[in-house]
Amino acid sequence: AIHPYVPGRSTTDDGGKAVKLSSNENPLGTSPAARAAYAAAATVLERYPDAGAPELREAIAARFGLDAARVIQGNGSDEVLHLAAGAFAGQGDEVIFVRYGFAVYEIAARRVGAVPVVAPDRDYATDVDAILACVTDRTRIVYVANPNNPTGTFAPREEIARLHAGLRPDILLVLDQAYAEYLDAADDDGGLDLAKTAANVLVTRTFSKIHGLASERIGWGYAHADVIAAMHRIRLPFNVTIGGQRAAIAALGDRDFVAHTREHNARWRAWFADEIGKLGNAGMRAVPSEANFVLVVFEGALTAEEAYKGLMAAGYIVRWLPGQGLSQGLRITIGTEEETRGVMAALRALAGQG
């Protein structure tokens, strides 16, 4: 049977041990400094966290040159995405995101009674003109993940600026940068610069991906003070744990771990995409990715569903997303060298080219 997504799953259908390449986690683990900070927090388990998470917000502000008062902490960036919908959209309002966008946008919209509006993509990439064409008088929020999940595609700075310029000032543009740290420095989409000055831009970031702290659920957002204040009004008071915050602060300080992870990812993502390219005769192609995963599209005899089942049988859990209308592709996280070579060998074998 095809299993629905089970967080933390690390066994195959028949209970065997599996390599988990389905949630875009860091295959290199977590910074040792973050682990140590987390462990040390065990001495204060009886205490509530400071409801305003000041140390975490100040560490983030210092690292990125921001105003700490305008940083909001979240239980994962998922919470910040939900807070945006809760604060700025309601019954009958419209919320726009791209086809093959991050699944939380639709959930966040429906949760507040808003209408999800899906903009067409351009061969899996974000199409600014298509998004702008979806705007109506009822539009309240536009969510864009950059790089996007599950496609991995990146919209450059000029495109994001053009999108922002084309939106009314009463529409909140949410730039979800969960994978921003995987970009080359030259590829900054300008989101934080926009959020510093524009009144209607919210940038979200996470500690779940490059920092390897997915289990602790720490994310943040940056926007105009009024936007942040509206989200704080509906936020749960103790939404981030002490251990998670301390681990996150230590993770921010470990620039070497982040750089090492970025280099590892860039190297094996390029290798993986290249190897998929050699299976073009079997109808496989890799959508160009700037993130820590690659969307492999199956347009030949081997279908994505067959490949999903075959990889599962071989001990590799990857993401198949028919529920998001993406039955033709598999999203595969870049793992360790061994995992990446292994999943590639399994795909080659499934394509009859092993």
Q: Is 206 in the site for ligand PLP (CB under 6 A)?
A: yes
User: Which one, 248 or 351, has the nearer CB to ligand PLP?
Assistant: 248
CB 221, CB 79: distance < 8 Å: no
Maximum distance among all Cα pairs of the chain, rounded to whole angstroms: 60
Exposed e or buried b per residue across 38-68, where buried means at least 16 C-beta atoms within 10 angstroms of its C-beta: beebeeeeeeebeeebebbbebbbeeeebeb
Q: Is 30 in the site for ligand PLP (CB under 6 A)?
A: no
Residue type, position 82, single letter: H
CB 264, CB 258: distance < 8 Å: no
CB 223, CB 205: distance < 8 Å: no
| Interacting span for ligand PLP (CB under 6 A) from 73-81, 88-96, 228-236, 272-280 | 73-81
| Interacting span for ligand PLP (CB under 6 A) from 62-70, 74-82, 195-203, 261-269 | 74-82
Q: Give the CA distances from residue 18 to residues 5, 97, 318, 331, 343, in Å, rounded to whole numbers and listed in that order.
A: 14, 33, 10, 16, 11
User: Which one, 214 or 334, has the nearer CB to ligand PLP?
Assistant: 214
User: Which one, 219 or 350, has the nearer CB to ligand PLP?
Assistant: 219
Q: Is 22 in the site for ligand PLP (CB under 6 A)?
A: no
String marking each residue 117-146 x if it binds ligand PLP according to CB under 6 A: ----------------------------x-
What is the DSSP-derived secondary structure letter of residue 279?
T
Number of helices and strands (H, E) in the chain?
12, 13
CB 10, CB 17: distance < 8 Å: yes
| Interacting span for ligand PLP (CB under 6 A) from 71-79, 122-130, 185-193, 272-280 | 71-79
| Interacting span for ligand PLP (CB under 6 A) from 9-17, 72-80, 161-169, 250-258 | 72-80
| Interacting span for ligand PLP (CB under 6 A) from 40-48, 75-83, 117-125, 182-190 | 75-83
* Interface with ligand PLP (CB under 6 A), residue from 53, 71, 142, 214: 214
| Residue 93, helix vs strand vs coil | coil
Q: Is 102 in the site for ligand PLP (CB under 6 A)?
A: yes
User: Which one, 145 or 201, has the nearer CB to ligand PLP?
Assistant: 145
Residues binding ligand PLP (CB under 6 A): 24, 76-78, 102, 145, 149, 176, 178, 206, 208, 214, 219
